[in-house]
Amino acid sequence: MNNLPLAVAAENASPLHKKERIIFLDGIRGIAVLGILIMNIMAQGQAHFFYNNMDLSQPLTGPNFYAWAIEMGLFEGTMRGLFSILFGAGTILLLTRLEKTRAHLDVADIYYRRMLWLLVFGLINAYIFLWPGDILYYYALCGMFLFPFRKLSARKLFLCALILLLIGSYRETSALYDRKETISKGKTAEMLQKNKKKLTQEQTGELKAWEQMKEKHSSKGIMTQAAEETKKVQEANYPQIFAYYRDVNMKLQSVGLYNSWWDMLLFFFLDMAMFKSGFLTGDSKTWIYLLVTIAGISVGLWINYTELKMLYFLRFDEVKMIENTTVAFYQVRRLVQTMGYLSLLILLYKINPLKWIFRIFVPVGQMAFSNYLGQSIITSVIFL
């Protein structure tokens, strides 16, 4: 078995038993939590403007480049995707267990109280532990929508996920073209002003919107804002840092949630569908896992490569990125790449000699909630 190719080894492996399924899910959850930590360190160890971008005041080659390329190319969005997938599976497991011993009203009561407590801890994580990248608040609010869908078949849940993927891609592409329009109209007004032409009230507003976009999203603007954030945080005490991140968190948990709710729900529904269909528990045919692995990782990495290459050569100027982008592929890329990783992990777990690797991450996954909050506390102490 040790020397068999992956496909042959997985083909000869038996389906996962009930106990093994729980171990596997805990192992994947542990991998996802630690993967999220990799991305959070990038955000917490420097100004949050450098989460996607490199710091132009630092070398853009060598270790800095490879750290950015590996994290953004392999981990951005995918670890959060895996974590979201396991959230959906946990919902199904919890409700299935409760419905065997509890009345329907009690099941709903327990479930929604858990979501409310999750929301409370999300607020604590964001406002007390000073982590504006908290995900628990979003999970709690989006998780409240899952209960009415728990009885749907795998096919209908897959359909819900597809609809959410279309909604998310449409909304993000629509927002992209709104920004393109801001640039186009702003440049036109800017040219008229340079030619000493009198601007209408509408054109004045378009020029102002364009100038604000350049101020916030150009390479120069991002560096300026990052420097201001770094100064505010490094030279401030806890109350001052709290006041700064309070405003950031309020925006993220209101406007930010409104503009990204499909990001979580898509994976929640997808996971519930995969769990019910047997895909997540290793019951699908090996060729399906191989196909999803190869196609998902290949397509995901290619989309990521083309976008990151453009971002790098444009020196992380988001305005120029908007001008050079035609379709927002973020949700598609994240979905296929995450599915590729998940399929690969399922294949690897079905090879008996490799199971010990997953067991290393089981304790982390079994205490995912505590570990996630612990990350915020530890990184806040180190970086703030």
Q: How many domains is the chain partitioned into structurally?
A: 1
pLDDT at position 17 is: 52
- Mean pLDDT for the stretch of residues 286-290: 94
Structure confidence by residue, pLDDT tens digits, 291-344: 999 999 999 999 999 999 999 999 999 999 999 999 999 999 999 999 999 999
Confidence label for 19 from pLDDT (cuts 50, 70 and 90): low
Within a domain: 147: yes
pLDDT at position 4 is: 38
DSSP label of 149: G
Q: Long-range contacts: 313-320, Cβ < 8 Å, 24+? A: 315/56, 315/219, 316/52, 316/53, 316/54, 316/56, 316/219, 316/222, 317/217, 317/218, 317/219, 318/53, 318/217, 318/218, 318/222, 319/183, 319/213, 319/214, 319/217, 319/218
Q: How far apart are CA 269 and CA 88, in angstroms?
A: 7
Q: Long-range contacts: 148-152, Cβ < 8 Å, 24+? A: 149/269, 149/272, 150/91, 150/92, 150/95, 150/272, 152/272
Please say if the pLDDT value at position 200 is more than 70.
yes
- Mean pLDDT for the stretch of residues 201-227: 92
Within a domain: 199: yes
pLDDT at position 150 is: 87
Please say if the pLDDT value at position 379 is more than 90.
no
DSSP label of 325: -
Highest mean pLDDT, choosing among 107-116, 162-171, 215-224: 162-171
pLDDT mean across residues, the chain: 88
pLDDT > 90: what percent of the chain? 54
Structure confidence by residue, pLDDT tens digits, 22-79: 788 888 889 999 988 888 888 788 888 888 899 999 999 999 999 999 999 999 999 9
DSSP label of 45: S
Structure confidence by residue, pLDDT tens digits, 248-266: 899 999 998 998 899 999 9
Within a domain: 326: yes
Least confident of 21-25, 80-84, 185-189: 21-25
Within a domain: 163: yes
Please say if the pLDDT value at position 372 is more than 70.
yes
Predicted model pTM = 0.88
Within a domain: 1: no
Within a domain: 164: yes
In the chain, the amino acid numbered 282 is G
List for the chain the helix, strand, coil content (%; round to 5).
80, 0, 20
Give φ, ψ of 200 to 5 degrees: -75, 170
- Mean pLDDT for the stretch of residues 122-147: 91
Spatial CB neighbours of 155, under 8 Å, sequence gap ≥ 6: 273
- Residue of 36, 31, 34, 58 lying closest to 47 (CA atoms): 58
Please say if the pLDDT value at position 277 is more than 70.
yes
pLDDT at position 185 is: 95
Which three-class secondary structure state does DSSP give residue 15? Answer: coil
| Structural domain of 211 | 6-383
Instruction: Please say whether the beta carbons of 117 and 135 come within 8 A.
Output: no
Q: Long-range contacts: 168-176, Cβ < 8 Å, 24+? A: 168/262, 168/263, 168/266, 168/331, 169/327, 169/328, 169/329, 169/331, 169/332, 171/259, 171/262, 172/328, 172/330, 172/331, 173/327, 173/328, 175/259, 175/328, 176/322, 176/325, 176/327, 176/328
- Residue of 33, 134, 138, 139 lying closest to 80 (CA atoms): 33
Confidence label for 16 from pLDDT (cuts 50, 70 and 90): very low
Within a domain: 137: yes
Within a domain: 56: yes
What CA–CA distances, in Å, run from 150 to 96, 114, 158, 276?
9, 16, 13, 10
